[in-house]
Amino acid sequence: MSMNSRRAARVILLGVVCTSLCSTSLVAQSPTEPPNCPLSPSQVELLRQLSHEDGRQQVVIDAVEFDGSIHLPDSARQKLIAELKAKTFFADEDWPEKVEDDARWAWQDAGYFAVVVEAMPQFLSSDTKGQRFSVALHVQEGDQFRLGDLRIVDAPLEDRPSLRVRLSETQQAEGNRNLEPPPDMTYAGFPVEELRRHIGMKRGEVFSTSKIREGLEALKNLYGSKGYIDFTANPLTDIDQEDRLVNLTIQLDQEAQYRVRSVEVTGADPSIENQLRSMLRVGEPFDALQLNAFFKENSERLPPELMQRRLDFRRDAKTGSVDLRFDLRSCPATEN
């Protein structure tokens, strides 16, 4: 069968599947059944097969070598090699650049902040499954950097429109035109030392990009537990080449705090409903972290894909409130 014939057949088959799935979706959204029930195993498998892109050649890396004066620990190099061999790239994309990015992250995670990596692929063979390459990585490590100063500050007011409006309204009422944030608004009540501990690095330690990412995620979770669901943390670096230090400033923008306004639960057994209502108290800050933990702990008692398909989450930015609706009705039995 020619390529065009296969694509035509695929289009026809997609049309048949779409008709079936769309009909199922409409039925699932009727008032008598819960919305967005999972697909049957046969539908999942068919969609998995149809998701394969015709004619796209895969690239597999069989071997990785390093060229240059290397100080990165052997354990980190072996980990990088295993990750690159396990990944699937595609011939029609700039896959050597993706390899360089992965290698760069490995070195930066060990403090080589200014590392330069060049990937030089060597074709080995090809078959019906794709192309196989070996890759030589030419690495200029540069100096190893350590953490210098760590500052945590509020984001500039020009980058925080919602805070700027609140400050302006408050200070106009007080006859004060100074737009510097007052001390009681800084960090939303979290002591700066507590925030520093979440970063996981102290001055003089090897500057690790993964620890920075983990620290920013920890800050997001911390603020999310207090209703700051739009919180962002922006890391800024200042390089001290002479002392081989990276001075880090983290700008915090907590945005508005959201509180629970209403909770509606349909189809849950009493114990699940009681847990949800005791956790999501009306008038209290919305705790996204606690809700996520509840879903994980009770995954076997809850419908599949609850967060993505069974939770109606609506926010009101003007009042800083959220309304939550959970549909926990059981789905009809699917075929095996």
Contact between 327 and 36 under an 8 Å Cβ cutoff? The reply is: no
Closest CA to 312 of 323, 327, 329, 325: 325
DSSP letter (8 states) at residue 310: I
Partner residues linked to 65 by β-bridges? 136
Alpha-carbon distance of 28 to 33, in angstroms, equals 6
pLDDT score recorded for residue 92: 86
Residues 6+ apart with CB under 8 A from 294: 275, 276, 279
Alpha-carbon distance of 334 to 107, in angstroms, equals 49
Average of pLDDT values for 302-312?
A: 68
What is the number of residues in the chain? Answer: 336
Alpha-carbon distance of 290 to 309, in angstroms, equals 19
pLDDT score recorded for residue 183: 40
Alpha-carbon distance of 166 to 188, in angstroms, equals 14
Alpha-carbon distance of 287 to 279, in angstroms, equals 8
Alpha-carbon distance of 160 to 254, in angstroms, equals 9
Alpha-carbon distance of 319 to 15, in angstroms, equals 45
On the question of pLDDT at 161 being above 50, the answer is yes
- Band of residue 100 on the pLDDT scale cut at 50, 70, 90: very high
| pLDDT tens digits along 4-57 | 444 433 333 333 333 333 332 222 233 445 555 656 666 566 666 555 555 678
Owner of token pair 């990585």 = 137
- Across the chain, mean pLDDT equals 78
- Give the pair of three-digit tokens for residue 282: 């009306």
Average of pLDDT values for 139-146?
A: 95
| pLDDT tens digits along 187-246 | 667 888 888 889 989 999 999 999 999 999 999 999 999 999 999 999 999 999 999 999
- Give the pair of three-digit tokens for residue 221: 């979770």
Can you say whether residue 305 is alpha, beta or left, with left for phi > 0 and alpha for psi between -120 and 50 degrees?
left
pLDDT score recorded for residue 327: 83
Global pTM reads 0.68
Owner of token pair 């189809």 = 267
On the question of pLDDT at 319 being above 90, the answer is yes
- Band of residue 88 on the pLDDT scale cut at 50, 70, 90: confident
12-40 in b/e form (b: 16+ CB < 10 A) is eeeeeeeeeeeebeeebeeeeebebbeeb
Contact between 208 and 146 under an 8 Å Cβ cutoff? The reply is: no
pLDDT score recorded for residue 41: 63
Alpha helices in 136-269 (DSSP H): 161-173, 192-199, 209-224
pLDDT score recorded for residue 148: 95
- Band of residue 180 on the pLDDT scale cut at 50, 70, 90: very low
pLDDT score recorded for residue 206: 95
Comparing 179 with 93, which gets the higher pLDDT?
93
pLDDT score recorded for residue 310: 72
Residues 6+ apart with CB under 8 A from 266: 325, 326, 327, 328, 329
pLDDT score recorded for residue 154: 83
| pLDDT tens digits along 104-113 | 999 999 999 8
pLDDT score recorded for residue 68: 87
pLDDT score recorded for residue 29: 34
Average of pLDDT values for 125-132?
A: 86
Alpha-carbon distance of 61 to 18, in angstroms, equals 37
